[in-house]
A = this chain, B = another copy of it.
Amino acid sequence: MDKIGIREAIKKLALLKTEAMYLNDFLLTWDKSRDEIEATFAVAEILKGLRKANISSRAFDSGLAISLFRDNSTRTRFSFASASNLLGLTIQDLDEGKSQIAHGETVRETANMVSFMADVIGIRDDMYIGKGNTYMRQVAQSVQEGYDAGILEQRPTLVNLQCDIDHPTQSMSDAMHIINHFGGVERLKGKKIAMSWAYSPSYGKPLSVPQGIVGLMTRFGMEVVLAHPKGYEIMPEVEEVAQKNAADSGGSFSKTNNMAEAFQDADVVYPKSWAPFAAMEKRTDLYGQGDMDGIKALEKELLTQNAEFKDWECTEELMQSSKDGRALYMHCLPADITGVSCEQGEVQASVFDRYRDPLYKEASYKPYVVAAMILLAKFPNPAEKLMQMLERDRPRVF
């Protein structure tokens, strides 16, 4: 996208209704209108264009971006850091181990105490069902109250960097990848995407990726198929969201317990392991009760259950059955690759290798998606602001 293209994209962005995103958070894609979703893609593409044209999109001369990771992370951590840096914000990690949170602070208190000069708070909290998203909403409410009471001079916006329900920065990046692959969001209509469970020797992987995918891809009129063995159901609420989305967008949402059926004629396949929702709920309860023996027993049970479905693997044969034998293979990474990262995993090595560059490209959208979410929440008129950046023409690299 050259400067003329950027200008055109900004003009299109100006036509979208994004007022409700201002001073708001990004927690679930299905909380956002279709205009808001498209605006997020548009801003991400514009920021990408600006950076390629060596035009700085620094919007803040000072300001903190707080990151709170309650689970390990490489790509999301670096995406959040990259996005914040791109806009001029400085990461300050809230490391709960080094803080006084253990000393009896409430969420409300901590949220305010760290936010006096914070413009953004990014949180990953995906370990326990019913907890992560709830925690994010508590933080959002706390800073809203602080802002309303005049304690905070600005309202930090919350970005969900993965919770128990959704992984919006992932699913939005995935969507940008598909859009670019097929040449426009309008071309997604009628395309079949298979979000399929796949075997992994580990257990307890979050549900937020499959949930995020079926919750988002159903917005674009796609034929979304969710495939998994019996017992690996996702949250029923998210299935309802997907059903409703599909009805609204003129697409479909269906389920199957047959991986081959899902792959048949698929335009896009997303084979990935996850843990059964019911088991994750049970684990959360066991943690709550401090029942470590119960957890160990559950882990053993789950690994045994997993092992029954080793044939849920994305093989060359399965790929052959997809549309013209060349569906777009997707993954949030890291993948469990048979014979590479584990003995038997989610995908055959030759399939993975063939899609390596597209997979990395898929991941490359995330920093821009995060930056777009921030920018849309911090500026009442994002198109005007981006046009000013384009005209300011300040070089990113001197």
Contacts and interface: CB of A to CB of B under 8 A. Distances in A.
Interface of A: 51-52, 56-64, 69, 72-75, 77-79, 81-82, 85-88, 90-92, 94, 98-106, 109-110, 112-114, 116-119, 146, 149-153, 202, 333-334, 336-337, 340-342, 357, 360-361, 363-364, 366-367, 378, 385, 388-389, 394-398
Given A151-B357, A357-B151, A364-B116, A62 B74 contact: no
Residue of A51, A103, A119 most packed against chain B (CB within 10 A): A103
Given A82-B117, A149-B357, A74 B100 contact: yes
A289 B320 CA distance: 41
Contacts of A366: 116
A88 to B, nearest CB: 7
Given A56-B62, A60-B397, A153-B52, A117 B334 contact: no
Contact of A334 (B58, B81, B100): B100
A159 to B, nearest CB: 17
Contacts of A63: 85, 396-397
A146 B356 CA distance: 10
Contacts of A60: 396-398
B334 A104 contact: yes
A88 B101 CA distance: 28
A212 B75 CA distance: 34
Residue of A63, A77, A101, A149 most packed against chain B (CB within 10 A): A77
Contacts of A109: 333-334, 360
Pairs of residues from A and B, 10 with the lowest C-beta to C-beta distance, nearest first: A104-B341, A82-B117, A74-B99, A56-B61, A151-B360, A105-B334, A59-B398, A75-B113, A78-B114, A81-B92
B58 A58 contact: no
Nearest to A365: B116
Given A78-B113, A82-B118, A104-B342, 14 more contacts: A58-B61, A60-B396, A61-B396, A63-B85, A64-B81, A69-B98, A73-B99, A74-B113, A81-B92, A113-B363, A116-B366, A149-B357, A151-B361, A378-B397
A223 to B, nearest CB: 29
27 contacts: A56-B62, A57-B62, A59-B397, A61-B398, A62-B86, A63-B397, A64-B78, A69-B98, A73-B99, A74-B113, A78-B92, A78-B114, A81-B90, A82-B116, A82-B117, A91-B92, A100-B334, A103-B341, A104-B342, A109-B333, A112-B363, A116-B364, A151-B360, A151-B361, A151-B364, A388-B398, A389-B398
A1 to B, nearest CB: 12
Residue of A112, A116, A202 most packed against chain B (CB within 10 A): A116
A130 B165 CA distance: 45
Nearest to A364: B116
Contacts of A59: 397-398
A394 to B, nearest CB: 6
Nearest to A360: B151
Contacts of A113: 74-75, 78, 333, 360, 363
A75 B202 CA distance: 38
A255 to B, nearest CB: 28
